[in-house]
Structure 1
Amino acid sequence: MPAFCLRILACVAVGFSTFTEVRGHEPAVLVAGDGQSWYKGNMHTHSHWSDGDDYLEAIAMWYRDQGYQFLVFTDHNVLAETEKWVKVAKTKGGRKAYDKLKEKFPNWVEERGEGDDLEVRLRQFVEVADRFNNPGEYLLVQGEEISDNHHGAPIHMNVHNILERIPPQGGRSVHETIENNVRAVQAQREATGQPMIVHLNHPNFGFAITAEDLLRVRGEKFFEVYNGHPSVHNHGDDEHPGTERIWDIVLAQRIGALGMPMMYGLAVDDGHSYHNIPSRASEPGRGWVVVLANELTPEALIESLEHGRFYASSGVKLKRIATDHDGLQVEVDAVPGETYTIEFVGTRSSTDLVGQPITGDDGEVRHVTHRYSDGIGEVLKKVEGTSARYDFEGDEYYVRARITSSALHPNPSDVGDHQQAWVQPSLGPAAPEEAEHVHD
């Protein structure tokens, strides 16, 4: 067994954590300038290497040409690092993707055979990165979507800046499956010294993951509050809460009851379909993160993400985010003709944090997020305008902000969605002291 694998096994055995844990937003002003820049990126992308319908290089070109500064490829349980030939006729993109590839990259495509036997060599990540990476302008990052399950329930997690593929780890429960995969990522990061992070994907895909499954996971600090795939139920349904509600339950429990670190919310595409845009498929350009960092490198991006120096968006652009011990302030980079609603969302220390399990007709507890007080994730203040501030009143566990534009999303995952942005939570004055200094 390679030394690297032995180091991973040893690390998992002792159960350490290497991910940076910090207080939920130390006082800071997030604004471009003085060596800091905003970098827009997508952290969930699929290609012909798994179940996407286009080639790595074509996808990289699309995001670059749409004004993104970074992109993470996250194909299912595979890294684009081996020699792989595919029959054009049998790829999801078929002849359409092939013809577009030949047009965009006339002297790049390696092929063999003809007719129904025509094959193309899939370019590896390093080849595409060498062609597209442009210091300070555009960056491709290698990732993997670890696609696991528990009794058929899909449990998917994206790893960013990965070095070696991590196979699904499994577990005796949904919670344990998530935690085992997190530990495998931690182990690789520790063994290699390479900065990398992991995030939980689309918790409502198949309604596989409840707030209770997620809230006690050690080492997990990111999840998708918005996913652009039309089948992931961002808004939930009559029985299952939406992802924002899950976020608030997790935050309230981790901060108010468990003394655990913050959970940050990401927005992503989960792109699979790159032709016939717009349509009702899982397409690019629906959700992204905007990270404030001092340079466009994986290391700088990961450091900023781990410290909450970013916001998530499905269309709204922010100019400035200020956090201090007294409150939270947001300023929108407004688009002419649009109006904005800024809502400050949080949970107060007087709120009952105990949830009630849901039982079926047989009296058995169902695998559904418990029912909690409406005080968890209540709107504490609402402002119509392009700038707003929330001042702590003394009893908040945390406060986050949601900004909604009057403009509809041009290509939404759910019909009728407006363009939005989500500001990461800040610990409030009622947060227990251990929440400020906890290390997993």
Structure 2
Amino acid sequence: MKSTKLKFSTLTAFLSLQLFLLNACSEQAPQTSKQWYKGNLHTHSYWSDGDEFPEMIMEWYKSNNYHFVALSDHNILAKGDYWIELPERELYQNAFKNYLSKYGNDWVVHKEDSGRIEVKLKTYEEYKPLFEEKGKFLIIQSEEITDRFEDKHIHVNATNIQELIEPQGGESVLEVLQNNINEVLKQRQETGVPMIPHINHPNFHYSISLEDIIQLEGERFFEVFNGHPQVHNFGDSAHVSTEEMWDQINIAYLSKQQPLIYGLATDDSHHYHEIDSKWSNAGRGWIMVQADSLNTTSLIDAMEEGKFYATTGITLSDLRFENNELKVEVQAEEGVHYKIEFIGCKTGEQEAKILNVAEGNTAIHKVDPEMLFVRAKITSDKPHSNPIETANFEMAWTQPVVFEKE
């Protein structure tokens, strides 16, 4: 009998230990299983006003360590028969020869007539299998819904869109914006497919004002940095920067109990052959998303939870918000100096301020109950390889966080 009790007791203890270890592992799994994925949500090709074939563009992003790319041409999806006539400039003629040499006549459908070359573009469904790899690279079907009100340029990206959305129009900038955002959210609801709208370059021609975005409903994302040379990220004497706009929007949203709006960095690439500050080149801005896996559902879920940061070159080795402490750690490069600023606004105030500044590659800031929100901005003294405006040095922005009650 003692032997039986001993065996039973030993078995119970063993099972209890296994259960404890299993629970411990399962509790840690969500943290250890998440990975950082690099991606760009604003990209153009020959399907609209870009100057390169989708295959060559995807090849560039994949070879430059991006994990996901959204090809977001203006008011079009890469579907059906679509032919372009190549520009006559030698630059583009030579680029076509390179494309043809790389992919061959069996892939590249084209015709020549009187010295003109016409090319049939490959569709999303055709070029996608050439590049996608599970866990390594993902292409997201998207559209830049390109609309206007009078002389104002109003652009909204729809990420992971399933069917084309025509520009909805409206009787004001606000109405045009809201109508197009509503159509994206409507398609999401009707299809059950996760997709998100985001406001593009609000200071492009200074078309979208702070007041316009404050009055919106249902928008969660906008571009705090866009790599196009004509978008005025930093404003001017009469217009606020997109970063200041970001804080003012969130002050207004939280006062109305609306969810936070999150800031994206994109390159808005159009030009792939001429590299200079006057061209809209690839690689100027992107986001890093911390997600369970590389698929659109996981990426969008993570983004809607604010689990990402925007950057023009700086990489973070650690970013977390736990126990109301926002921790930022930079993956430091030798010889580069970093400054981490924590920026936030107190409840009842109408302006965001710098709360704390840390020199170096690591900083932690305690978020107090009286704070409306807190975010971090990281700057470096490393020159950007291809800057625009006054963005001469690499930067990064974390998403705002709010105090969490126990």
Q: Tell me if both proteins adopt one fold, taking TM over 0.5 as the criterion.
A: yes
What is the alpha-carbon distance in structure 1 between the residues aligned to residue 346 and residue 29 of structure 2?
29
Task: Check the 8 A contact 2:340/2:363 in 1, yes or no.
Answer: yes
In structure 1, the residue matched to 2:286 is: 288
Instruction: Render the CA deviation track for 1:157-176: whole Å, top value 9, x for unaligned.
Output: 00011111001111122112
| Offset from partner CA, 1:317-345 (integer Å, 9 cap, x none) | 00111213423111111111111100001
CA RMSD of aligned residues (A): 2.1
Listed as ranges, the gaps of 5+ residues in structure 1 are 1-29, 354-375, 434-440
- Within 5 Å, which residues of 2 pair with 1:71-90? 71-89=69-87
CA distance 1:91–1:304, change in 2 (3 Å)? farther
C-alpha contact (below 8 Å) 2:62/2:137 kept by paired residues:
yes
Whether contact under 8 Å (1:327, 1:389) holds in the other structure is: yes
Find the aligned partners of 1:296 and 1:88 in 2 and give their Cα distance.
35
Shift of 1:415: 4.2
Separation of aligned partners in 2, 1:240 and 1:202: 13
The residue type equivalent to 1:254 in the other structure is Y
Change (3 A) 1:93 1:299: farther
Per-residue deviation, 1:417: 2.2
- Return the letter of the residue paired with 1:105: Y
Q: Is the 8 Å Cα contact of residues 277 and 388 (structure 2) preserved in structure 1? A: no
1:40-439 pair list within 5 angstroms: 40-89=38-87, 94-107=92-105, 108-255=107-254, 257-351=255-349, 353=350, 376-428=351-403
What amino acid is aligned across from residue 273 of structure 1 in structure 2?
Answer: H
Bigger Rg, structure 1 or 2: 2
Higher helix residue share: 2
Following the alignment from structure 1 to structure 2, what is the Cα–Cα distance between the partners of residues 81 and 239?
Answer: 42
| % identical aligned pairs | 41
1:21 aligns with none
**Structure with larger RCO (C-alpha < 8 A, sep 6+):** 1
Compute the displacement of 1:316 (Å). Answer: 0.5
Following superposition, the deviation at residue 408 of structure 1 comes to 1.4
Structure 1, residues 128-155: CA drift from partner, whole Å, max 9, x if none? Answer: 1111111111111110000011112001
> Residues 8-35 of structure 1, C-alpha deviation per residue, up to 9 Å, x if partnerless?
xxxxxxxxxxxxxxxxxxxxxx999622
Q: Per the alignment, do residues 169 and 346 of structure 1 end up closer, same or farther by CA in structure 2, a change over 3 Å counting?
A: same
Hey, what's the Cα distance between the residues in 2 that align with 1:419 and 1:92? 34
CA shift at 1:231, angstroms? Answer: 0.2
AA aligned opposite 2:62: R
Post-superposition CA distance 1:61-109 (Å, at most 9, x none): 0101111111000000000101111222369973133122123323521
Q: Tell me the TM-score normalized by structure 2.
A: 0.89
Check the 8 A contact 2:225/2:264 in 1, yes or no.
yes
TM-score by length of 1: 0.82
1:412 aligned partner, one-letter code: P
Are the counterparts in 1 of residues 229 and 277 from structure 2 also a CA contact under 8 Å? no
Which range moved further: 166-175 or 90-99?
A: 90-99
The whole-number CA distance in structure 2 between the counterparts of 1:221 and 1:272 is: 25
Summarize the Cα distance change of 1:134–1:240 in structure 2 as closer, same or farther, 3 Å threshold.
Answer: same
